[in-house]
């Protein structure tokens, strides 16, 4: 099972389209916020992909009706997806990890900081795929993959 994760496209429909169109074989595509407008525009002409795309609201998705947190059951795992601004991810991941544990999740995804991050802490895989358009860490724009198989979980962050 492959899950593609992106965040913080901030109006860059070209980056969003490049990521999705190169990964149409993914089982799920998750957008972690600050890109709802371009995602909606993309889906107008790619409606067949809509059932496999999940979006959560970011702090710049003004007027969004999308959820702020989403829990996705995948095989024997649960994935928590949130933008992260409501959980202080710019300073600490403690609130995010607590939210994941409260919801029985072993994978927690967040964006907001525009900085790539992945780790495994206290039984939780944590990933911020960075920004697909405006990275703040000196790296190229990026997105992430999560591969889940009977052998385990592998996370990876790649350049757009």
Residue 151 lies in a domain: no
Residue 160 lies in a domain: no
Residue 61 lies in a domain: yes
Residue 150 lies in a domain: no
Residue 115 lies in a domain: yes
Split at pLDDT 50, 70, 90, the class of 17 is: very high
**The predicted structure's pLDDT at residue 9:** 98
State the CATH number of the domain containing residue 113: 3.60.21.10
| Cβ neighbours of 89 (radius 10 Å) | 23
Split at pLDDT 50, 70, 90, the class of 21 is: very high
Residue 11 lies in a domain: yes
pLDDT of 66-119, one tens digit each? Answer: 999 999 999 999 999 999 999 999 999 999 999 999 999 999 999 999 999 999
**The predicted structure's pLDDT at residue 103:** 98
Split at pLDDT 50, 70, 90, the class of 3 is: very high
| Backbone φ, ψ for residue 20 (5° rounding) | -65, -45
Supply the range of the domain harboring residue 115. Answer: 2-141
How would you list the strands of the sheet with 107-109, edge to edge?
A: 69-74, 77-82, 107-109, 124-129, 116-121
Residue 36 lies in a domain: yes
Residue 158 lies in a domain: no
Split at pLDDT 50, 70, 90, the class of 136 is: very high
- Global confidence as pTM: 0.96
- Total domains present in the chain: 1
């Amino acid at each position: 099972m492959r899950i593609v994760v992106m965040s913080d496209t901030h109006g860059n429909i070209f980056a969003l389209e490049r990521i999705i169109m190169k990964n149409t074989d993914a089982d799920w595509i998750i957008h972690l916020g600050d890109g709802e407008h371009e995602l909606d525009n993309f889906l107008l002409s790619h409606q067949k992909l809509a059932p496999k795309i999940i979006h959560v609201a970011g702090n710049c998705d003004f007027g969004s009706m999308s959820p702020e947190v989403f829990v996705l059951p995948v095989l024997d795992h649960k994935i928590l997806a949130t933008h992260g601004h409501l959980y202080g991810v710019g300073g600490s991941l403690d609130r995010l990890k607590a939210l994941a544990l409260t919801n029985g999740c072993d994978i927690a995804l967040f964006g907001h900081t525009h900085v790539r991050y992945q780790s495994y802490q206290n039984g939780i895989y944590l990933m911020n795929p960075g920004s697909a358009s405006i990275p703040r860490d000196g790296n190229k724009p990026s997105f992430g993959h999560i591969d889940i198989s009977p052998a385990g979980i592998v996370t990876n962050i790649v350049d757009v």
